[in-house]
Amino acid sequence: MRLLHTSDLHLGRKGREEDIWKQWEKIVALTQQEKVDILIIAGDIFDNGQAERRLKQRFCSSLERLTREGITVLVIPGNHDLRQGNALEGIELPGVKVAFDYEVVILEGIAFHLFPFSPEITGQDLVKIRQKTEAKFEIGVCHASYVAIRDIFNDLGDSQAIHIPLLPEDVKLLQFDYLALGHYHNAKYWQVGKTHCVYPGSIEPLSFKEKGKRQVFIGHFSNEIAISPIEIGCQQSYQEITVQIPPEGFEGAWREIETLPKRFGPCFLKIHLKGIGDEVLVKVWQQKVEKYLKEQAISVIWEDQTVDMAWIESTPLARQFRNIVQKRLEKSPQERDYWWRVLYRGVGCLKECYQEAMPKA
């Protein structure tokens, strides 16, 4: 038996509707190409509980293409599906099982334990309600937070999104052969004892936290278990770079900007801009960059960490530090880049100290 495991589609995400749909179409096609018997979607099919009727119909039509080929689809709701409503309500198709309560589905001698999302429960609760079966393989499907891996804990914790916390002890007691997880948006595969644990991640990046390859996972269950990821690419990635305004000014920084379309392609790009410059000229240059990159299908978000020349002139200690660095530069012109970085870091630290020392309103 072959299954394909995906999660966190977030269909209907405002501003990203077609990007996400194109990714979902890839998964539908891949499910057909890979001769999969069962498709598992581990929650967050829709971005909120009030999904538009037309979008739900479009989703159901795509599922029917799979069920007509004999592919069974197992679905559990995630926290987004149940936000301000229930987006999965009314999705009733032959060959599609949507679990709103815990239940066990036996298919081809394999037990699928479907745990729908509930904000009040923990991994210990899953252990308590888990039913015993005589199946050859046992697969758990859950939209949960595995908190024993630092990246997962930090990411979900920062977003205040730790739901159904799972510990290694819980996973061992559940005694599944495969744990099909959803909720965390980056792909992750690890083992706890005999249990293969998998987060496939979101099918399309939706924030700067979602980096790395977009994947689905194929599980092959015969005499043994084989798990393999398949990359599905993405429509628009999220990228971050640091651009330093060099001593010669914006011309040097522009040369780096011109490389970005080829380097990243269409994406959301956060630029950490560092250096020293006139505040007005910096803003004008940023507008020029935004216009150029927009024409290349790159949307820019700025993290402006520049230091304004006018602030240096108006701050005696910063001005004195600049004069010292300039004298060093005159003695060692071949080290211009080095001393420019020293100047930026020095006055940057001074500015932070001045801001912290200022009384708060």
Average pLDDT, the chain: 94
Q: Which domains, ranges and CATH numbers included, belong to the chain? A: 2-231 (3.60.21.10), 237-357 (no CATH)
pTM here is 0.89
How is residue 339 written in tokens? Answer: 């001393």
Q: Phi/psi at 266 (nearest 5 deg)?
A: -60, 130
Rounded CA-CA distance 346/337 in Å is 14
Asked if pLDDT for residue 232 goes beyond 90, the answer is yes
Rounded CA-CA distance 287/169 in Å is 53
Residue 233, CA distances (Å) to 33, 179, 204, 292 in order: 17, 24, 8, 25
Residue-wise pLDDT for 164-202, tens only, equals 999 999 999 999 999 999 999 999 999 999 999 999 999
| Residue type at 145 in one-letter notation | S
Rounded CA-CA distance 20/81 in Å is 16
Return the percentage of the chain with pLDDT > 90, whole number: 81
Rounded CA-CA distance 162/144 in Å is 8
Instruction: Indicate if the alpha-carbon torsion angle 154, 157, 159, 162 is positive or negative.
Output: positive
Asked if pLDDT for residue 264 goes beyond 90, the answer is yes
Rounded CA-CA distance 311/320 in Å is 12
Quick check: 108 and 83 in contact, CB under 8 A? Answer: no
Asked if pLDDT for residue 55 goes beyond 90, the answer is yes
Region 94-121 average pLDDT: 96
Region 274-283 average pLDDT: 91
Read off the pLDDT band of 360 (50, 70, 90): low
Asked if pLDDT for residue 355 goes beyond 90, the answer is no
Residue-wise pLDDT for 132-168, tens only, equals 999 999 999 999 999 999 999 999 998 889 999 999 9
